[in-house]
Amino acid sequence: MKIVVLKFGGTSVGTVDRIKKVANIIISYFRKRYKVIVVSSAMAGATNDLIKKSKKISNNFNLSEHDVLVSSGEQIACSLIAGRLNHLGYKSQSYMGWQLPIITDGKYGSSRIVEIDKKKINKFLKSGGIPVIAGFQGINMDKRITTLGRGGSDASAIMISKFFKSEKCVIYTDVDGVYTTDPNILKKAKKIKIISYEEMLEMASLGAKVMQPASIQDARLNRIDIDVKSSFIKKNGTKITKKKNILSNKIIRGISFTKNDAKVTLLGVKDKPGIAASIFKPLSNNAINVDMVVQNISTNGKETDLTFTIKSEDLIKTQKLIKKNTKINFRDLIVDNNVSKVSIIGVGMVTTPGVTYRMFQALAKKNINILVISTSEIKISVLINKKNVSKAISALHKEFKLNV
């Protein structure tokens, strides 16, 4: 069977009128003789509304029940899509994760798909039907409903593509592709026609909101090409694929940034083996993700200054954990939640010297001070004052010729 998986995000199914447009998109693939599997998110705002309700019920809502609750939005969207397709004369039926079933492993709220029973869907496809499968959800070995984390419908679509060996996986959203940077921040941002898994993974991890990072990793591991398109306009989108499929003379492919970082600095930490682990273990135990880390040893080798970044919403909890940590001694604790991380990404920098210099020089020309630096093979990230983000993005976009 020539199968295509079409995934529609929350904004694409956000209203009844939008669901009618989605049905027309689905039919257009069906008429091209594809066997179509549809994956849907909840209608825009539905999941957030359910989360608000859970918080009014309890400050410590049971995690298993939370997954049951927040996964219910997809059921509504899937039923409406299938209902519209039936109205237009096409055989369609909605399926929840437990009905196939889609088997998951891991914690509630952040599970991963490990197996999908294909029998029901294959039978329905062969009968000429269009199945509409709820994204974001599955069941664990205890037959409890689980969810895949925010944006998890992308992961659902990619894993369904894997298990059904689809020819295409198309992610429909409210943007018409992946851009060199956020077009809301820089009007000169350009759409990227084709991008590697590695570059897209870095961009998503560093602030780009087009796709969930875990879903891109799933696509990369399973070598599933993804097309990102808009459900609102008929334009070519962005293809996410392996590096060898890309011919580009661009060293840097994109610029990402964050808006919710905080910088924590411990001054005068008494240095000894294992001190960094002693600092970070309580944070890890409380699910606080530490990102950029810089350590400066004093000239006498007895003290160190340690700087790291976290999400700003974790700042108060982090301060409390550090202050009550009896395993560390330090002179002062300084925090700053008025910072942002700006990153340049591109597989071209692996073989191109001088990229770091060009980045730092471009920022220096605009009098932008760099607070923290971190690098990998295909990205360089700098922490700067939040007020300079737009200016930094514009300067780097021009420096690396992303405007053309």
Residue 267 sits at φ, ψ, to 5 deg, of -95, 140
SS3 assignment, position 325: coil
Torsion from C-alpha of 81, 86, 90, 94, nearest 10 degrees: 50
Burial class (CB in 10 A: 0-12, 13-18, 19+), 324: exposed
Contact 109, 119 (CB under 8 A): no
Query: Which CATH number fits the domain 3-174, given the four candidates 3.40.50.11820, 3.30.70.3270, 3.40.1160.10, 3.40.630.10?
Result: 3.40.1160.10
Q: How far apart are CA 370 and CA 340, in angstroms?
A: 11
Q: What is the pLDDT of residue 183?
A: 87
pLDDT tens-digit series, residues 186-245: 999 999 999 999 999 888 876 666 787 888 988 999 999 999 999 999 889 999 998 877
Amino acid in the structure at residue 15 = T
Most confident of 89-103, 296-310, 371-385: 89-103
pLDDT tens-digit series, residues 51-92: 999 999 999 999 999 999 999 999 999 999 999 999 999 999
For the chain, give the mean pLDDT.
93
Whether the pLDDT of residue 184 is over 90: the answer is no
pLDDT tens-digit series, residues 246-277: 777 788 999 999 888 999 999 999 888 888 89
Q: How far apart are CA 305 and CA 279, in angstroms?
A: 12
CA pseudo-torsion sign 135, 140, 142, 147:
negative
pLDDT tens-digit series, residues 110-136: 999 999 999 999 999 999 999 999 999
The tokens for 186 are 């820089």
- Fold held by 257-399: VC0802-like (3.30.2130)
- Look up the pTM and report it: 0.84
DSSP secondary structure string for all residues of 176-188: SSEESS-TTT-TT
Q: What is the pLDDT of residue 228?
A: 94
Q: What is the DSSP letter of 387?
A: G
- Sheet containing 112-116: which strands, arranged edge to edge? 112-116, 102-105, 137-139, 145-147
Whether the pLDDT of residue 300 is over 80: the answer is no
For range 281-293, the mean pLDDT: 92
The tokens for 319 are 């301060």
184 CB neighbour count, 10 Å cutoff: 8
Contact 387, 255 (CB under 8 A): no
Q: How far apart are CA 112 and CA 106, in angstroms?
A: 6
Q: How far apart are CA 155 and CA 163, in angstroms?
A: 12
Whether the pLDDT of residue 398 is over 80: the answer is yes
Nearest to 22 by CA among 44, 51, 45, 50: 44
- Per-domain residue ranges for the chain? 3-174, 257-399
pLDDT tens-digit series, residues 321-338: 999 998 898 999 999 999
SS3 assignment, position 35: strand
pLDDT tens-digit series, residues 134-181: 999 999 999 999 999 988 999 999 999 999 999 999 999 988 899 999
Q: What is the pLDDT of residue 202?
A: 86
Q: What is the pLDDT of residue 208?
A: 64
Amino acid in the structure at residue 167 = E
Whether the pLDDT of residue 344 is over 90: the answer is yes
Q: What is the pLDDT of residue 207?
A: 60
Q: How far apart are CA 70 and CA 176, in angstroms?
A: 27
Q: What is the DSSP letter of 243?
A: G
Please give the span between the terminal C-alpha atoms of the chain, in angstroms, as a whole number.
Answer: 41
Contacting residues for 287 by C-beta, under 8 A, at least 6 apart: none
Q: How far apart are CA 364 and CA 381, in angstroms?
A: 15
37 CB neighbour count, 10 Å cutoff: 25
Distance of CA 234 to the CA centre of its chain: 24
For range 361-371, the mean pLDDT: 97
